[in-house]
Structure 1
């Protein structure tokens, strides 16, 4: 059965209406206390590839519940109105869809356009546990 909309189409549509941040610009935001970097990758991806120091891990499947103050799963880290939220995944696809959904909910956020895939090669700091 052919799909009505492909995943790539969904990502393209999301990217057309959200704020995307280039890797070099995101690297400059790492030490900014007003920025919360949110890693939505699976825990195994973080363990394998490392992660941005100071980033918050929020599994993709829980984002909508964690940002909603009326949800029993709400996390205070997402209740800081004075912060800039920057979401990322591995390549920018999941985070584009996530930010589009959050925008629909009224939650202001941006995403790392190319994801973690270009982070280390462009000089971004990476923390690896147990290394």
Structure 2
């Protein structure tokens, strides 16, 4: 692009926005267990079909992705009792970590600054040979 004087216009380099999958707080399966043990709210956003196929995440609250914002934001009127403030640590889990990464970014946009997710999703959980089933005691060692 040239300006009136014949010189080159220099495009200002703008930093690219961080992608949700590059969020530095994404957790490994072991870190997810540690977060749960210290009191993080673990939310499984997989579909019922995915949960039936892969198994249940011990201690997780199951929320369909379509109602996550309404149920997770403290001042929504329909929030989960476990989400008592915007400071609550929330760990989201999806099938492979893609949907949970985007959902965690959305919760952070809404003020839940400690929202994160399990990198690699439930597939990473299974690969780490962690327990499957609904009993929270299974991962509270």
- TM-score class normalised by the smaller sequence: 0.7 to 0.9
Alignment correspondent of 2:9: none
For structure 2, list consecutive stretches of 5 or more residues without a partner in the other structure. 1-16, 135-141
State the partner residue of 2:76.
71
Between the two structures, name the one with larger relative contact order (CA 8 Å, sep ≥ 6). 1
- Tell me what 2:5 maps to: none
Of structures 1 and 2, the larger Rg is shown by 2
Q: Distance in 1 between matches of 2:95 and 2:57?
A: 12
Residue 82 to residue 17, structure 1, CA distance change in 2 (3 Å): closer
More strand by share: 1
| 1:79-125 deviation digits (Å, cap 9, x = unpaired) | 25674211110111100100100000101211001100121221211
Number of matched pairs: 118
Matched, 1:102 2:129: no
* 2:96 partner SS: coil
8 A contact 1:20–1:112 mirrored in 2: yes
Deviation per CA, 1:5-42: give whole Å up to 9, x if none: xxxxx9x7112345200123224445x15122110001
Distance in 1 of aligned mates of 2:79 and 2:42: 17
| Corresponding residue of 1:4 | none
